[in-house]
Amino acid sequence: MLTGIHFLLTYKCTYECDHCFLYCSPDASGTFTLSQIKDVLADADKIGTIEWIYFEGGEPFLYFPLMVEGIRLAKQHGFKVGVVTNCYWATDPESATLWLRALRELEIDDLSMSDDPFHYEGDDISPAQKAVLGAQSIGMDCDTICIEAPAVLTKSGIEIAKGAPVISGSARFRGRAVEKLTAGLPTRPIDSFVTCPYEELEKPERVHLDNTGNVHICQGISMGNMWDIPLSELIDRYAALQHPITGPLVAGGPTRLAQSYPVRLEGNFVDECHYCFAVRSALRTQFPELLGPPLVYGVV
Ligand code: SF4
């Protein structure tokens, strides 16, 4: 059951992280208009099962007034609201409260702040920790998210460069993570990727929306364009097995997706997402409405 709608408010970000599966960067541009946000929220009401609205990116604080108004409207519709941020704005705890007070007044339900070496490597306390101190000083709850770099785990749990093919860490090998994080990791044969391990493709619990209209089931796999067909109708019509990309993925994972068209790729692949992303990249121009936007595939 679909319970969450996540606005990718923008692909623009202050950082260009190695693990980013959307290829966000300072060079990306664009955001939603206020009227588009209003339309989506009205349509979310029609779906009838939505509980949560998230604002994320990219970095949603780059469009702070728009994000704040989006939160206000989402609360007005009766949804719970979450925000995910890299905390670039938290220059010190007291200054962070200037940003946080607006969110506290709107009674947001989840504030998740990225705090890991992908987002900050300095000696000082991280922006996220400054934001946490700021939030605590005004009695506001918040959480931090830590993405660990992938490494190979041995049976004893000691991380080494090469060894047993068990990969630790929560980074997913899609988008820029494929380019930046897969080197040196063990690989598997292409006929072994027969499931999608991380997404409920048949019954998605949440979708991500971008300002070009894509309704992402997994990053870069779209149900269709909500500026052409209303979101509630796309959700209603979606049948994973009939979708040209999720159909094969549900039936037999990335291996089946490659066999279905067919796509023949050179090289080795670390896991399901790595092979899936490579196969989808090869199919992107064949299914431009369903595999996009190009930026998410590293194409600008
Ligand atoms: S296998 Fe493909 S569809 Fe499934 S989570 Fe990985 S990238 Fe997404």
Instruction: Write out pLDDT tens, residues 90-144.
Output: 999 999 999 999 999 999 999 999 877 666 677 688 899 999 999 999 999 888 8
Residues with C-beta less than 6 Å from any ligand 1 atom: 174, 196, 198-199, 218, 221, 249, 254, 272-273, 276-277
Please state whether beta strands 206-209 and 214-218 pair in parallel, antiparallel, or not at all (unpaired).
Answer: antiparallel
| pLDDT mean across residues, the chain | 91
What is the position in ligand 1's atom list of the atom closest to the CA of 221? Answer: 3
Tokens at 88, concatenated: 């670039």
Of 44, 8, 41, the closest CA to residue 236 belongs to 44
CA of 58 to the centre of ligand 1 (A): 20
Which residue lies with its CA nearest to atom 8 of ligand 1? 218
CA of 75 to the centre of ligand 1 (A): 31
Q: Which atom of ligand 1 is nearest to the CA of 273?
A: 6
Q: Which pTM was predicted?
A: 0.91
Among 207, 283, 281, smallest CA distance to 49 is for 207
Nearest protein CA to atom 6 of ligand 1, as residue: 273
User: Low-confidence residues of the chain, pLDDT below 50?
Assistant: 157-164
Which ligand 1 atom is nearest residue 219's CA? Answer: 8
| Amino acid, res. 250 | V
Q: How far is the CA of 276 from the centre of ligand 1 (A)?
A: 6
Please check whether residue 234 is in contact with residue 223, taking contact to mean a CB–CB distance below 8 angstroms: yes
CB atoms within 10 A of CB 261: 15
